[in-house]
Amino acid sequence: MSATFMIVTNATANALSLTGDDRKPSVSIARAGTANINIIDVLGNVLLCDTLSTWVTAGTVTITRGGVAVTAAQLTAYKQGADMDRTDYDADDDLVVDAAETIDVVSRTKVTGITYTVLAGDTMIQTDSTANVIGLTLPAGVDGKTYIIKDGAGTAGTNAVTITPTVDTIEGAATLTLIRDFESITLAYDVTDTDWKVISRVENTTLLNDTLVQVVITAVGGVAGATAGTISVQVNDMDGVALTAAVDLELNSSLTQYAGTNAATGTAFFGAATTGTLNAGTGTLYAHVTTDATGLYEGALADAADETAYFSAQTASGGHSALANGCVVTAVIPNDATWAA
């Protein structure tokens, strides 16, 4: 085998799995088996060289190139791109091997103190402001440097987290503050604008999941001259699980299937609530209601005509919902009820 290849021999009784930067190369070596790796795939490949160096030192493998043993020290040289012109492995001329710059390494730092100066080597900052407000100071920016800052404890709504650059700005502002529970933000530095850019900002995803709801309606009409009926409305999260909080809804009645409030017709009316609260709409074709803490609303219906009414639900319109009870109806399983008065 020429010096173009390294021959890696497994010195153990177990199969080995060898992977380099960006999973290139990805090699399996059977017990007591060998693998041939092109030297071009080795030079500047940080993960591959580090793994092989550790294995050589531990006696896990032996390596030869052109019939000559390869040592751990030589693998370190290969990692730095020895045998290559430096521009081949450090094209951006920043004295860091390009392959190393592509490795996805996340360094998570938890911060609970009043102040913390973010380090150049930090990647993710997870805050816990249970006991106090927190001030984070960003270091001088390096082009493309990215930080993820997350309210890990869900306490930013009580004790804010303020982010301040040592120099420059964040989207042109001197500071940026997280004020919502579980909020997170990703910042990246732009050397041209000398400014930290907001790549993404995510608010309380738990609240979002609770706010998007589906509604299941069960309606029962009257027969044999009876005008009374009942309606039951169950509000669930998007996984179909009953809510654990009260929400506001608008209920509609119509002689036309799938019609909403604007098309309300017929003579079926909403009556008193038995579970939850009927806020407005008694004796009309629509009603504004609040469920109980399990997302359930139950109440009376009435219709003096021989007809089939269709019932549906929708998000409470502006001015009809308390902030704490807000929700967005994304799916409805409607129902109808028939009266033979």
Residue 120 is encoded by which pair of tokens? 């150049």
Contact 16, 29 (CB under 8 A): yes
Task: Tell me: pLDDT of 8 over 80.
Answer: yes
CA gap 284, 335 in Å, rounded: 18
Tell me the pLDDT tens digit for each residue of 117-136: 998 778 889 999 999 999 99
**How does the average pLDDT of the chain come out, rounded?**
83
**End-to-end alpha carbon distance in the chain:** 96
Q: How confident is the model at residue 103 (pLDDT cuts 50, 70, 90)?
A: very low
Beta bridge partners of 47: none
Contact 124, 106 (CB under 8 A): yes
Tell me the pLDDT tens digit for each residue of 54-102: 899 989 999 988 778 888 888 887 877 655 555 555 556 555 545 444 4
Residue 37 is encoded by which pair of tokens? 């790796």
What is the arithmetic mean of pLDDT over 162-172? 93
Domains of the chain, start order: 5-101 (no CATH), 108-203 (2.60.120.640), 209-339 (2.60.40.10)
Task: Look at phi and psi of residue 95 and say left if phi exceeds 0, alpha if psi is from -120 to 50, else beta.
Answer: left
Task: Tell me: pLDDT of 243 over 70.
Answer: yes
Q: What DSSP string describes 119-164?
A: -TT--EEEE--SSS-EEEEEPSP-TT-EEEEEETTS-TTTS-EEEE
